[in-house]
Amino acid sequence: MIEVLDVWRGFWTTATILAGTLLGFLLVATSTRSREFFGEERRSPRGLLYQALTAYAAIAMVGLLILMPMLSQRRLGLVIAGLGALLTLVSSWRLITVPEGSRILGILPATLGELGAWVSYVMISWAGYKLMRGAAHAVDWIAISAWLLLASALWMSIQLLRKNEI
């Protein structure tokens, strides 16, 4: 298992740094316009903000877990599967409770970024479970889900920043 993780070490180092940096930039951008995001009259940007921040934090957390040298393959898979399951449940609840007026064709959530994040969380859960069961190739699927999650978070961030003209 160590050889498989060594191949991805550079990727996870870069992904973790990138996610942490973008998380910080988004926090600074929103703090400069806090009235627009946290005032009572505008509720939808706040939800999108939380989704984007959660996506960046999830990438950073998974990256840090993978880079930790003390976790065995089984424990690493268990922790990643648990994190993915928790994020899937929270994201599912968010998608279910989206108001009808904010849906595409009355079915899909308003942003494809949120849907992409949900798919990424499901993939992380599945790959974590596979990793826990001994499938070393599951690390590849975790990396693919991180790419999708990063693209989704960037899409949500761009939408958020364009809506609020930050």
**88-131 confidence digits (pLDDT tens):** 999 888 877 766 555 555 566 556 788 888 999 999 999 999 99
Q: Average the pLDDT over 62-78 and give the result.
A: 86
Contacts of 68 (CB under 8 A, 6+ apart): 76
Q: Average the pLDDT over 128-140 and give the result.
A: 89
Upper half-sphere CA count for residue 120 (Cβ side, 13 Å): 27
Predicted TM-score of the model (pTM): 0.82
CA distance 116 to 91: 10
Confidence of residue 39 (pLDDT cuts 50, 70, 90): low
Among 59, 49, 53, 58, residue whose Cα is nearest residue 23: 53
Maximum CA extent, the chain: 52
164 touches 33 (CB < 8 A): yes
CA distance 158 to 152: 10
DSSP letter for each residue of 84-132: HHHHHHHHHHHHHTS-GGGEETTTEES-HHHHHHHHHHHHHHHHHHHHH
Average pLDDT, the chain: 80
